[in-house]
Chain A
Amino acid sequence: MMLPSFDAFRAQMAEMLELAPGDLSADAPLMDQGLDSMRAMNLAMQWEEEGVPLDFADLAEAQSLAELWALVEERQAS
């Protein structure tokens, strides 16, 4: 399966948070940037469709976009 690039991944998150991709900080807490449970849920469902190895709990736990991306890479590797 084709996993997204970090840029595509960031673009998905930015769209969900109604931000321009450039305005989404990779290191700042996601919740401070507008991520709430419903948006997280929508993302989790979208990623499940696309085969991105993240679930809702990952989104709920992760502090930042960078941390999430690290999880993707780690799982991709295993």
Chain B
Amino acid sequence: MTRFPLTEAQEGLFYAQLLDPANPVFNTGQYLDLAGELDVPALQRAVAQAGREAEALRLRVHSTGHQDLQDDLQIELQVVDCAGAADPEQLALTLIRADMATPVDPARDPLVRQRLYRLGAQRHLWAQQVHHLAIDGYGMVLLTARVAELYGRYLAGQDTGGRALAPLAGVLAEDAAYRASPDRVADAAWWRDYLHGMDDVTGMAPGRAVSSHSFIRTEAALPGDVRAALLDRAKAAGLGWPDVLTALTAAYCRRFTGDGELVVGVPHMSRMGSASARVPAMVMNVLPLRVTADELQPLDRYLAQVAENLAQIRGHGRFRSEQVRRDLGLIGGDRRLYGPLVNVQPYDRPPRMAGLKVGLRVTGTGPVDDIHFTFRGDGRTSLTIEVDANPALYGPDDVRAHGNRLAAFLAAALAAERLADVPTALPQEADAELAQFNRTAHPVPDVTLVQLLEDAFAVHGDAVALRFAGTAISYAELDRRTRALAAALQPRGVGPEAIVAVALPRSVELVVALVAVLRAGGAYLPLDLEHPAERIATILEGACPAVVLAGDDPHGLYGDRLLVPADWARAGEAQPCAATPGNAAYVIYTSGSTGAPKGVVVEHRSIVNRLLWMAEHYGFAATDRILLKTPATFDVSVWEFFLPLIRGATLVVAPPEAHRDPVALARLIRGEGITTLHFVPSMLAAFLAAPESAGLAIARVFTSGEELPAELRDRFHGRIRGELHNLYGPTEAAVDVSYWPASADDRSRPVPIGHPVWNTRLLVLDAAHRPVPLGVTGQLFIGGVQLARGYLGRPDLTAERFIADPFHPGERLYATGDLARRRGDGAIEFLGRADHQVKIRGLRIELGEIEAAIADSGLASAAVVLARGERLVAWLVPATGYDAETLRLALARRLPSYMVPAAFVPLAAMPVTANGKLDRRALPEPDFASEGGDAPATATERKLAELFAAVLGHEGPLAAGDDFFALGGHSLSAVDLLLRIREEWGHDPGLATLFEVADIRGLAARIDHAADADHGLGPLIVLARGAGNPLFLVHPAGGLSWGYRTLANCLQPKRDVYGLQAPALDPAVPAPESLERLAHDYAHRVDRAVPEGPVHLAGWSVGGVIAQGVAVALQDMGREVGLLALLDAYPADCWRAEPEPTEAQALRALLAIAGLDPEAYPQLTTREQVTAFLRDGDSPLGSLPAPVLDGVVRVVLDNNRLVRGHHHRRFAGTLTHIRAGLDHGDKPQLQPTSWGAYSGAVECLTVPFLHPQLTGPEASALIAPLLSERMALFTPVSA
């Protein structure tokens, strides 16, 4: 027995096997189908002899990383007779598969298995299975060829001879020599150089590429004419046909991985000029091949490039790719060196065996991380395509489709002059894209929006059309007022195709203005009041509005076109609307990449289709109340305005600014009984984070404007009862063109944008405008009645984006620039942008517009703007006069505030890649740096600095003067900050204050001031955030609930947890008259916070006693109580008999609340001593304002009176009691069963802790699951 280390080639597999020893995928195998007269003893002899020659088959590989060669191991061909079976072939194949599916332990089991299955006298299957550590594909060919040769010789009566397999020693020596050679160092450098600048490698399907325990296989023969075309084309190009096949297959794969570079793995036999040329062993390597195809160049040039590339990488093919991967730091399944594998094995064909017809089937070639395309055969007589794929990434249908598509792709490419001319999709796939997924024809009356509005006005006269700030306007009044204003507009030139600009805040007048413009026959153009004058001027210049409906003319831009609401006629008869369905209804400006905003003109016919689809699809009725909260400049507002008004429903107009304030919104939704509203997903996230949104019931919530994350969908359903619908559409196609019900049982990830609306086509096309197959990323194109007319006054831009529909002559398609793919069910998934448009908080931004604005400022000679998370960052090369503040001001004059970058990074020069493109990855990260200065000084400032850092993801110290917005904060992160401030201090200063005072020092002062003013420490604090119905934890003796934070955060799944705190902490609040009264107040507070669903309650110590009272009070109110958990709390009766504690004893409780050991400070006996001690220490109690600390002391001291005076009433449900099992040895009267008198049932649980330890981390870890399990039994409000 000889012992030696593993070769480099074995190491990669060895570690993979070590990590997953039960994985049988390391078995490689094949079988030969032998038809004819087989001399079984001769074959057995040949197998035995080849086994003696092939030393690697006799290896034993130990987990310590060395291997032994076993000299005495005999390799035998075992004969299994299946001839007697009903279906001998089936039986044999089943047995072969079973062997392949059995993991082999390379330290114990033989690495080879040779079996001969006898199917009958004239047919056998010879199956060979070898562990990958001992062999590779070429090794298997060598072994098989040697057995075939020996078989032939034995039949011919020759006992020896032929070309024996070579010993393993040569391979080992070569491995050792290469490891130590300068060649290896040079190869390492060559690979680093070759792969320099490589992008992150992706596969053809999303997911982590780590081999499963099996793979999916499809296999088909390439037709003869395709083989002939391959050989001809290769010959004509002067290339080897295997290289041509590799190049074309890589081109096929690249169709699935996007426009960038593709790196395929190319197996390399590594035997040229090597001692391993005649050794069956694991020698092969997989080489990364970079493929960047310009599909427009001549195909032959592409083929030659790839062949040249292949020759180069083969020249360095001895260097292990595992080592390349380590050198590049590509570790883990999602950081890869290559994607699909393309494996051409011309030598792999059945051996010739005397007197037999031989067929070859490969049953396994080792791990399949992603997908392997393998071609076997000599090309001249046969060529098969095998597709092996990882079942974790591909389904059987995907694999089959790849096999079929690749064959069609090869056939088409071999006849093509350019790759660009070769379609990816099969004809039937293209047909499905065009027809099956776009069957949306639906009759819609050919009328104007005015017609729909006037029909509704006629029917619903007395109904409330809109509500705003407490006023209600009936349909009849809206009819009258809009007719009167329309009458005033018409003489000013407003009629079909005339534009009226509207610059009004959200108000009744805004609604009246829009309807009146339409009734006058014109189109409305909303202007944003907050936009800078320069931008508004540009828009007015392009749109030439006949009239401007606005409150005033702050920039002096409107002139005599201005018509202020005070001057609007209240009565008057307009001429009937002369607009036809083909006239413009509105013009909405969006960001334009060329530097100026562009006006999208939408016609009546388009928006009528959109509105009627929505009204019918979701069953809107006159009883609906739809909230208008989207700014009119954002096209989502179009359906908010008009959907209610064409259905006789009520439009509830949110006050200006309410759309950014979750608390105000929740109040509005509850108060107004809103049935339908819209959120941009990021705003929905902020809304759901606010405690006020818990338990809301809203019939339908729509999201659009940016991606709806799956987590957000799930969070929505955990918190709000109602439907959630995800819509998608650009301004250029009448608001929305697709819909997806993001229901509670929707498990889609990502959440699709769904299916097309009526009379609308959605097509996923490639760069040549051909349909792509299912699951393949392409650009999304929109066709149908909802397409906008184009960009106002910009036929050039219109022609660029609205192209002729190649499939429907005479019609147009809008190129969205969005990347999308279609799922198997036809639903479309949005995958981001193809260009440099970004969305921040749902607002569409062309980065080019910002870059153009920077260029126009003259302050930079080059600039690039990118979105980093939720912030825009500009990198620029400064010109004379540049400083960040000057540029910021210049941009703010021209761009809306959300388009002004949050950071400017000056560079000496823009970094570029080798081919001269901007190297985005080389751009330094922006420094949202602290301005420096004094460190935060007070406790509030320090805490606030922490919150700033957490919300902004800021690292490094902050100064007291640092401004939240200058550090990169924006309005949504501001909402997040306010929520955290509220959690921390029990109240927040409000968004308006934050906009006014955004630096740490100033904001801290406001917080402290508020705390002083209202004595702080809110009666309801947030302890943890999550989903489901919240848990309320009732404060213990000190009146504070802070101590529950650990317990609250231990709950799994995460749940909203609130702490109830004693109002008497505020010295101005009188002490409660009784515990009964206190519990009653708490019950009402809980009811207000969570108006629906079961209420979960728990409390420790005195908190438990109060919790029982709260539960009783809630039941009195008709509320369902879910969990009622008492942590080591005992009825008041148990205490009445006890002697009154002294004040000193009560004060000790205060020390415990402060997190101190009460027994460690016997010297503290008076109230003054205790408070002074606390104030000097670093306990959180010490930092309380003096009156509040007094409040705590007062609450503590008042407990005895409250508890002893309390008489429990009976709670009808089950009371869960958790006893501190290590305590109360001296107080046998404290028994959980004494709650029996005051509850329907008592569930007694015990944990091994002392009473004071129950809210600590160790006890919480035990108690939290007990609470979670029980709360899970109650149906949450959303179900």
Q: Residue of A at shortest CB range from B145?
A: A55
Contact indicator A38/B242 (Cβ below 8 Å)? yes
Counting CB contacts under 8 A, is B243 at the interface? Answer: yes
* Chain B window 414-440, contacts with chain A (Cβ cutoff 8 Å), 1 for yes, 0 for no: 000000000000000000000000000
Contact indicator B378/A31 (Cβ below 8 Å)? no
Instruction: Please choose the segment from B269-277, B583-591, B1021-1029 that sits at the chain A interface, where 4 or more of its residues have CB less than 8 A away.
Output: B269-277
A36-B311, A36-B314 are contacts. A42–B240 as well, Cβ < 8 Å?
yes
Counting CB contacts under 8 A, is B347 at the interface? Answer: yes
Counting CB contacts under 8 A, is A73 at the interface? Answer: no
Contact indicator A38/B243 (Cβ below 8 Å)? yes
Chain B positions within 8 Å of A57 at CB level? 142, 163, 271, 277-278
Residue of A29, A30, A41, A61 near B346 (CB, 8 A) is A41
A44 to B348 alpha-carbon distance, docked (Å): 13
Counting CB contacts under 8 A, is A68 at the interface? Answer: no
Contact indicator B277/A44 (Cβ below 8 Å)? no
A31-B272, A31-B273, A45-B378 are contacts. A56–B347 as well, Cβ < 8 Å?
yes
Chain B residues numbered 258-315 whose CB sits less than 8 Å from any CB in chain A:
268-269, 271-275, 277-278, 310-311, 314-315
Contact indicator B378/A38 (Cβ below 8 Å)? no
* Chain B window 148-188, contacts with chain A (Cβ cutoff 8 Å), 1 for yes, 0 for no: 00000000000000010000000000000000000000000
Contact indicator A29/B273 (Cβ below 8 Å)? yes
Counting CB contacts under 8 A, is B332 at the interface? Answer: no
A34 to B311 alpha-carbon distance, docked (Å): 9
Residue of A30, A38, A41, A60 near B277 (CB, 8 A) is A60
Counting CB contacts under 8 A, is B238 at the interface? Answer: yes
Considering residues A29, A44, A55, which has the most beta carbons from chain B within 10 angstroms of its beta carbon?
A: A55
A63 to B275 alpha-carbon distance, docked (Å): 11
CB distance from B350 to the nearest CB of A (A): 14
A18-B238, A38-B243, A42-B240 are contacts. A60–B273 as well, Cβ < 8 Å?
yes
Contact indicator A60/B274 (Cβ below 8 Å)? yes
Contact indicator A41/B347 (Cβ below 8 Å)? yes
Chain B positions within 8 Å of A45 at CB level? 346-347, 378, 380
A40 to B163 alpha-carbon distance, docked (Å): 18
Q: Residue of B at shortest CB range from A36?
A: B314
Q: From DSSP, what is the main secondary structure of chain A's interface residues?
A: helix
Q: Residue of B at shortest CB range from A37?
A: B272
CB distance from A56 to the nearest CB of B (A): 6
Contact indicator A44/B240 (Cβ below 8 Å)? no
A63 to B240 alpha-carbon distance, docked (Å): 22
Chain A positions within 8 Å of B163 at CB level? 55, 57
Counting CB contacts under 8 A, is A35 at the interface? Answer: yes
Contact indicator A39/B240 (Cβ below 8 Å)? yes
Count class of interface residues, chain A: 20 to 34
Q: Residue of A at shortest CB range from B314?
A: A36
Q: Residue of B at shortest CB range from A30?
A: B273
Chain A positions within 8 Å of B242 at CB level? 38, 41
A63 to B277 alpha-carbon distance, docked (Å): 12
Chain B residues numbered 307-344 whose CB sits less than 8 Å from any CB in chain A:
310-311, 314-315
Chain B positions within 8 Å of A29 at CB level? 273
CB distance from B384 to the nearest CB of A (A): 17
A45 to B315 alpha-carbon distance, docked (Å): 22
Chain B positions within 8 Å of A60 at CB level? 271-274, 277-278
Chain A positions within 8 Å of B271 at CB level? 37, 57, 60
Chain B positions within 8 Å of A61 at CB level? 273-275, 277-278
A30 to B272 alpha-carbon distance, docked (Å): 10
Contact indicator A35/B272 (Cβ below 8 Å)? yes
CB distance from A63 to the nearest CB of B (A): 8
A45 to B345 alpha-carbon distance, docked (Å): 12
Chain A residues numbered 5-63 whose CB sits less than 8 Å from any CB in chain B:
18, 29-31, 34-42, 44-45, 55-61, 63
A60 to B274 alpha-carbon distance, docked (Å): 7
Chain B residues numbered 960-1018 whose CB sits less than 8 Å from any CB in chain A:
none
Q: Residue of A at shortest CB range from B311?
A: A36
Contact indicator B347/A44 (Cβ below 8 Å)? yes
Q: Residue of A at shortest CB range from B165?
A: A57
Residue of B272, B274, B275, B278 near A36 (CB, 8 A) is B272
A53 to B268 alpha-carbon distance, docked (Å): 25
Chain A positions within 8 Å of B314 at CB level? 36-38
Chain A positions within 8 Å of B268 at CB level? 37
Q: Residue of B at shortest CB range from A61?
A: B277
Q: Residue of B at shortest CB range from A29?
A: B273
Q: Residue of A at shortest CB range from B344?
A: A38
CB distance from A35 to the nearest CB of B (A): 7
Chain A positions within 8 Å of B378 at CB level? 45
Chain B positions within 8 Å of A58 at CB level? 277
19 interchain pairs (CB within 8 A)?
Answer: A29-B273, A30-B273, A34-B311, A36-B314, A36-B315, A37-B271, A37-B272, A37-B314, A38-B242, A38-B310, A38-B314, A38-B346, A42-B346, A45-B347, A56-B347, A57-B163, A58-B277, A60-B273, A60-B278
Residues of A within 8 A of B (CB): 18, 29-31, 34-42, 44-45, 55-61, 63
Residues of B within 8 A of A (CB): 142, 145, 163, 238, 240, 242-243, 268-269, 271-275, 277-278, 310-311, 314-315, 346-347, 378, 380
Beyond the given A58-B277, A61-B274, please list 12 additional residue pairs across the A-B interface where CB-CB is below 8 A: A35-B272, A37-B268, A37-B269, A37-B272, A38-B346, A44-B347, A45-B347, A56-B347, A57-B163, A59-B272, A60-B272, A63-B273
